Amino acid sequence: MSQATALLSPTEVESARAKAQILLTGLDRTLLGQERLTRLVLVGCLARGHVLLEGLPGLGKTELVKALAALLGLSFKRLQFTPDLLPGDITGGPILEEDEHGKRKLVFHPGPVFCHVILADEINRASPKTQSALLEAMAERRVTVLGETHRLPEPFYVLATQNPIELEGTYPLPEAQLDRFLFKLEVPPVDRATLQAIITERRAGRSPEHERALSLEELRALFAAVDAIYLPPAVAAWIARLIEATHPSAATAPKLVKDFVRHGASPRAAIALAEASRAHALLAGKPNVGFDDVRAIAVSAVAHRLVLDYRARLEHVRGPDVVASVLAEVGELEDALPKGMKDAR
């Protein structure tokens, strides 16, 4: 997809923003007091990326994903990942069937992955072999079984959840798979006022019902609007410098990166940052990406892609800390003003 050379009209932008706002309002109705989280989930959805939600049980991760699927009116399946789950349980497989002529043949029966939205609940409980069954589906939106490739429906989202505290009997996601998630979002605990609202409005934990907010055509139009968002060269250059600075070998890498990062973010991270920034700009009603959009989503889009070394664990340095230091030290401008200029803000 090439860079747009003409801006969307204000009407187009406003129309797209209004549609996205409907989705956002619906998500906010489902998950109370988590506006930032819902906004980022919607950004991930508009950027057609997969999202990994990490949080303690009971925070509403599953409800959020179900609400998103309902609002989009897309097919939705929930996969509960367990240690005995097999790849075939996800992708489906050939079954021997007999036709009306009595002839037997292997017929491919699609697995639950063949839908628009998959909730991969507690994804880290499945074995690495099963986890890797999702690799092709997530990256290329297709499934290959016994040499036969099957395309997945468009759009296709994997919204996975994982629990950060129950580590026994879990298999941490490999870096290759983490890299395929556009965002890794931490679901924070809610405050007291939100809790009060939840216990008042959600009797027996029932979430509000959602009706389809957008048709598939409208959704595709929304995606087209995201694609038409303009990314100025200066912002693209900043994204490139940010990603470069996550590598410890880079001259511009901050001290935190040099000390604690073993491998920096991949080019896929730069792409994700740019695409997610476009979606974020559209949600803000802008025809272009700005530095503020990149800054708003950088931690969620990049932190989980960094491979930290053992010292980071000892020093309690986490990916978001590293990205925050990169954002602080890599300025938006490649050519700074001369030292002799005093910026009186």
Partner 1 sequence: MLPELDRSLRRLLARAKTAAWLEACARLAAPAVFVLGGWVLLARFALGQSRTAAAWSLAAFALVPVAAWFVARRRFLTPEAAVAWLDRRSGGSGALLTHFVLDDERWAGPARDALASIERLPRIAAWRDFRTTALGALFVGAAFVLDRAIVPTPPATQVALNRIDAASADLIALQEVVELAPETAKELEARLERLRDEGDAAPLDASLEAVDRTQEELARNADEALAAAERARDALSSAGAAEDAQATVDGINAALRDLKEAGLAAKLPKSLLERLDPGSLQLPDGVKLSAQELAQLSDELAAALDARMERLAKAGLVGKAQLERFRELERFSDHVCDGECKRAGVCKGAGRANAAPGRGGVSRGRGDAELTWGDEAVGKSDEFTAKALDPATMLDPESTAIVGLAANAPTVDAQGESAGGANVEASGGQGVWRRRLAPHHRDAVQRFFSGPRRE
Question: Which of positions 19-38 make contact with partner 1 (CB under 8 A)?
Answer: none
Q: Is 167 helix (H, G, I), strand (E, B) or coil?
A: coil
> Angle CA(49)–CA(55)–CA(58) in degrees, nearest 5?
115
If one asks whether residue 147 binds partner 1 (CB under 8 A), the answer comes out as: no
Among 142, 232, 245, 254, binds partner 1 (CB under 8 A): 232
Stretch that binds partner 1, among 30-38, 98-106, 255-263, 285-293 (CB under 8 A): 285-293
Chosen residue from 1, 5, 168, 203 binding partner 1 by CB under 8 A: 5
Of the candidate spans 28-36, 172-180, 256-264, 281-289, the one that interacts with partner 1 by CB under 8 A turns out to be 281-289
Stretch that binds partner 1, among 30-38, 64-72, 138-146, 282-290 (CB under 8 A): 282-290
Choice between 28 and 329, CB closer to partner 1: 329
When binding is defined by CB under 8 A, the residue of 146, 167, 251, 344 that contacts partner 1 is 344
Among 87, 290, 302, 308, binds partner 1 (CB under 8 A): 290
237 vs 36, 65, 141, 198, CA distance in Å? 26, 34, 29, 44
Is 14 a binding residue for partner 1 by CB under 8 A? The answer is no
Q: Which tokens go with 10?
A: 């204000």
Do residues 118 and 77 lie in contact, with contact meaning Cβ atoms separated by under 8 Å?
A: yes
Q: From CA 54, how far away is CA 163, in angstroms rounded?
A: 6
Interface residue with partner 1 among 20, 115, 117, 235 (CB under 8 A) is 235
Binding to partner 1 by CB under 8 A, coded x per residue (else -) over 295-314, reads x-------------------
> Strand 148-151 vs strand 142-145: parallel, antiparallel, or unpaired?
antiparallel
| Cβ neighbours for 213, distance < 8 A, ≥ 6 positions apart | 19, 22, 23, 26, 71, 72, 73
Q: Is 189 in the site for partner 1 (CB under 8 A)?
A: no
**Residue 108 or residue 230: which is nearer to partner 1 going by CB?**
230
Angle, vertex CA 213, rays to CA 188 and CA 219, nearest 5:
90
Q: In this complex, which beta carbon is closest to partner 1, that of residue 288 or of residue 325?
A: 288
Indicate whether 234 belongs to the interface with partner 1 (CB under 8 A). yes
Q: What is the smallest separation between the CB atom of 47 and partner 1, expressed in angstroms? A: 17
In the list 147, 169, 233, 267, the residue contacting partner 1 (rule: CB under 8 A) is 233
Stretch that binds partner 1, among 21-29, 89-97, 152-160, 292-300 (CB under 8 A): 292-300
Backbone angles phi, psi at 109, to 5 degrees: -105, 110
Instruction: Give bridge partners of residue 120 from the DSSP assignment.
Output: 79, 160
Among candidate residues 334, 268, 340, 342, the one with its CA nearest the CA of residue 305:
268
CA distance 312 to 320: 12
| Count of residues touching partner 1 (by CB under 8 A) | 33
Q: Name the token pair of 131.
A: 């986890």
- Is residue 241 a contact point for partner 1 (CB under 8 A)? no
Residues 177, 37: contact at Cβ < 8 Å? no
When the beta carbons of 6 and 146 are compared against partner 1, the nearer one is 6
Report the C-alpha gap between 47 and 138 in whole angstroms.
Answer: 14
Q: 246 or 277, CB closer to partner 1?
A: 277
User: Cα(15)–Cα(141) distance, rounded to whole angstroms?
Assistant: 29
Q: 3: which residues sit within 8 A by CB, 6+ positions away?
A: 230, 231
| Site of interaction with partner 1 (CB under 8 A) | 5-7, 9-10, 230, 232-235, 281, 286-293, 295, 332-335, 337-345
